[in-house]
Amino acid sequence: MKKILVSACLLGENVRYNAEVIEVSDKINDLMAKYEVIPVCPEVLGGLPVPREACEIQGMSGSDVLDGDTIVRGSKGSDHTGAFVIGAKKTLELAREHNVEFAVLKQRSPSCGSSCIYTGKFDGTKQPGEGVATALLRRQGIKVISEEDI
């Protein structure tokens, strides 16, 4: 069976920043019937706890974080960039270890977003962009889609 990487929160795991558990959707269940699913939470892999401070990329995209052009900041002001970059690298290692076909990662997350993220103002505004883990996977040629694209 071919393997895919899926955001652990989309699989009902308690890994979200606010410790909220998401109900597994029918679309995700369909994927689980077709593929061997490898769960991943880049932020937990990066060493962040559950629950944790809400984080947003400051005004740019995940690729800019990897290039050192912006940071990932928590809502209380802490710089969490290091944890996000470590989490992205561990996510890439997992993808390579399992030779995944593609990844389905949660939209709007500063790690997992694939076409939309928050702006960094912590006011609910969004902008086109991708998360840090998504950016690293794509740089290495791994296709990333969101749960909204299934």
Q: Name the site residues for ligand SF4 (rule: CB under 6 A).
A: 7-9, 15-16, 41-43, 106, 109, 111-112
DSSP the chain: --EEEEEGGGGT-S-STT-PPPPPPHHHHHHHHHSEEEEE-HHHHTT--SS---EEESSS-HHHHHTTSS-EEETTS-B-HHHHHHHHHHHHHHHHHTT-S-EEE-TB-TTT-SSEEE-SSSSS-EEE---HHHHHHHHTT--EEEGGG-
- Closer by beta carbon to ligand SF4, 44 or else 58: 44
Q: Measured from the CB atom, is 9 or 70 closer to ligand SF4?
A: 9
Least distance in angstroms from the C-beta of 82 to ligand SF4: 15
Nearest distance, CB of residue 137 and ligand SF4, angstroms: 12
Residue 57 CB, nearest approach to ligand SF4 (Å)? 12
- Residue 60 or 94: the one with the smaller Cβ distance to ligand SF4 is 94
Query: Which residue's CB is nearer to ligand SF4, number 58 or number 107?
Result: 107
Shortest reach from residue 87's CB to ligand SF4, in Å: 7
